[in-house]
């Protein structure tokens, strides 16, 4: 009887396990590339593929519509796709141009909607002109190797970059190759024409599946929020203004704390998105260091101060744009203008706050609570005299030579003293005309 009961329990447990396994549906992970390929898109894809691994996706589908973008970021994305353990399909829902073509070719399967296009991968600069030959050569090699990795014709991939490469019946010399949907299907660069992602999934004959659409988490949304140029301008204002007010009222702490927090909120989002390089941050910090040297060590406002100001503004501007160590060939002029304008507006705002808001801030109740604003005025009885009695108006003799400081003898007391600049020989008569701290201010009696 006991064996029968035990056998029944084991059978029930096995049945439940099998039922649970059959209830687990396949995860189809869907992500979007529907914008320019740049460091922000690079980070988005990196995070998305990491999430796809975490949810154990059986299939990843990229919903794509992009005009292209930065070659280095497209190269990073295509490499990540090639190395991903699960199959990755791309659904070209209009355009996969330039960098988008490279990413599409890296995928295991390509599907296109009606009227879609893929190709035109010639590397161009920010103003639309063809980039130098070294960039074209690199792009051709990347396209060939990526096509070969997925058993696609490498010559076709190369023809999407090289307008001088003629393929009989496919491309003409002098024209960069771009496929329509039907042309891509005819040349094995597209598996099928589909209307939507659901149709792609149904072609895989999954009996049970669920779609996981990737969305940025709250942290990434906050990071994206701080990449707004308007907010960047405000943060620059706080960075510079905070440093200024701390220099004006050292020891308060609040202005420099606000400056540090604003600096972190400004630099970290750009750094995480691949826009802020280490050397750009170093340029910014060196600029601040030179300004500090000008204020605390070097008198006046000279080379160090001007250089520090240029490096600070330059560092803050460079952080916003995707330049390759001062190579702005692939940086759109609009982005460069926006970065410089944002920095200058932030600097101008800081200057306005310094001149017009500084006085009000120092007179505010908050400032009075965090800073020592009381003045120990002599009119109110405060004094810095360290002597046991006053010597003001008394006469004595120079105990040592005063050049212009030394010691004087008044009665039986030998005291520190100084003149207004003239020398007094030892033994000459002096008169006390002032008392400040531990020294007497004296003059020679003619």
Please give the Cα distance from 198 to 213 (Å, whole number): 13
Higher confidence at residue 34 or residue 349? 34
* Mean pLDDT, the chain, whole residue set: 80
Least confident of 28-42, 325-339, 353-367, 401-415: 353-367
Helix (H, G, I), strand (E, B) or coil at 418: strand
Given a contact cutoff of 8 angstroms between Cβ atoms, the answer to whether 408 and 398 are in contact is yes
Question: Do strands 88-97 and 117-119 pair parallel, antiparallel, or not at all (unpaired)?
Answer: parallel
> Phi, psi at residue 418, to the nearest 5°?
-150, 155
Please give the Cα distance from 228 to 275 (Å, whole number): 13
**What's residue 253's pLDDT?**
64
Given a contact cutoff of 8 angstroms between Cβ atoms, the answer to whether 108 and 204 are in contact is no
Closest CA to 259 of 280, 282, 233, 237: 237
pLDDT surpasses 70 at 246: no
Which alpha helices (H) appear in 70-132, and where do they start and end?
Answer: 71-83, 99-106
Least confident of 79-83, 289-293, 312-316, 350-354: 350-354
Residues 6+ apart with CB under 8 A from 380: none
Residues 6+ apart with CB under 8 A from 239: 259, 262, 263, 266, 316, 346, 350
Least confident of 3-7, 144-148, 400-404: 3-7
What CATH number is given for 378-444 in this structure?
A: 2.40.50.140
Helix (H, G, I), strand (E, B) or coil at 231: helix
Q: Is the alpha carbon torsion for 300, 301, 303, 304 positive or negative?
A: positive
Please give the Cα distance from 227 to 222 (Å, whole number): 9
pLDDT in tens, 51-97: 999 999 999 999 999 998 888 889 999 999 999 999 999 999 999 99
Least confident of 172-181, 249-258, 343-352, 380-389: 380-389
- Token digits for 213? 């659409």
pLDDT in tens, 380-398: 555 555 667 888 889 999 9
Domain regions of the chain by residue span: 21-215, 219-370, 378-444
In the chain, what percentage of residues exceed pLDDT 90?
33
Topology given in CATH for the domain delimited by 21-215: 2-enoyl-CoA Hydratase; Chain A, domain 1 (3.90.226)
Given a contact cutoff of 8 angstroms between Cβ atoms, the answer to whether 105 and 146 are in contact is yes
Helix (H, G, I), strand (E, B) or coil at 376: coil
Please give the Cα distance from 329 to 127 (Å, whole number): 8
Question: Predicted confidence band at 320 (pLDDT cuts at 50, 70, 90)?
Answer: confident
- Token digits for 410? 């008044």
Least confident of 37-41, 73-77, 188-192, 209-213: 37-41
Higher confidence at residue 236 or residue 159? 159
Given a contact cutoff of 8 angstroms between Cβ atoms, the answer to whether 199 and 191 are in contact is no
pLDDT in tens, 338-371: 777 777 777 777 667 666 655 555 555 655 555 5
Angle at 420 between CA 419 and CA 425, to 5 degrees: 40
């Amino acid at each position: 009887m006991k064996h029968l009961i035990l056998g029944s329990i084991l059978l029930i447990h096995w049945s439940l396990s099998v039922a649970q396994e059959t209830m687990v549906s396949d995860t189809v992970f869907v992500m979007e590339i529907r914008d320019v390929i740049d460091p922000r898109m690079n980070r988005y894809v990196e995070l998305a593929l990491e999430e796809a691994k975490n949810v154990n996706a059986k299939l990843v589908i990229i919903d794509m519509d992009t005009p292209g973008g930065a070659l280095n970021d497209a190269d990073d994305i295509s490499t990540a796709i090639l190395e991903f353990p699960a199959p990755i399909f791309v659904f070209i829902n209009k355009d996969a141009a330039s960098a988008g073509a490279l990413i599409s070719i890296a995928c295991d399967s390509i599907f296109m909607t009606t009227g879609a296009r893929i190709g035109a991968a010639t590397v161009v600069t920010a103003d639309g002109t063809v980039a130098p030959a070294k960039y074209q050569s690199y792009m051709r090699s990347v396209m060939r190797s990526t096509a070969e990795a997925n058993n696609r014709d490498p010559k076709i991939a190369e023809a999407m970059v090289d307008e001088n490469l003629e393929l009989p019946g496919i491309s003409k010399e002098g024209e960069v190759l771009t496929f329509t949907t039907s042309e891509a299907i005819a040349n094995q660069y597209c598996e099928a024409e589909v209307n939507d992602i659901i149709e792609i999934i149904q072609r895989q004959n999954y009996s049970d599946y669920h779609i996981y659409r990737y969305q940025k988490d709250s942290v990434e949304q906050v990071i994206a929020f701080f990449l707004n140029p308007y907010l960047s301008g405000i943060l620059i204002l706080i960075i510079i203004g905070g440093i200024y007010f701390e220099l004006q009222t050292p020891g308060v702490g609040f202005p420099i704390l606000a400056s540090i927090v604003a600096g972190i909120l400004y630099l970290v989002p750009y750094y995480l998105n691949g826009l802020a390089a280490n050397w750009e941050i170093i340029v910014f910090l060196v600029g601040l260091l030179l300004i500090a040297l000008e204020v605390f060590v070097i008198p006046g406002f000279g080379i160090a101060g001007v250089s520090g100001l240029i490096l600070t503004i330059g560092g803050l501007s460079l952080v916003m744009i995707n330049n390759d160590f001062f190579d702005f060939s692939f940086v759109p002029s609009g982005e460069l203008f926006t970065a410089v304008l944002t920095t200058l507006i932030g600097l101008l705002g800081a200057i306005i706050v310094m001149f017009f808001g500084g006085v009000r801030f120092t007179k505010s109740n908050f400032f009075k609570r965090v800073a020592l604003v009381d003045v120990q005025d002599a009119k109110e009885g405060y004094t810095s005299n360290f002597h046991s009695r006053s010597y003001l108006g008394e006469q004595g003799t120079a105990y040592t030579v005063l050049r212009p400081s030394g010691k004087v003898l008044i009665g039986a007391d030998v005291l520190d003293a100084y003149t207004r600049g003239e020398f007094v020989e030892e033994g000459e008569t002096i008169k006390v005309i002032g008392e400040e701290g531990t020294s007497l201010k004296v003059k020679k009696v003619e």
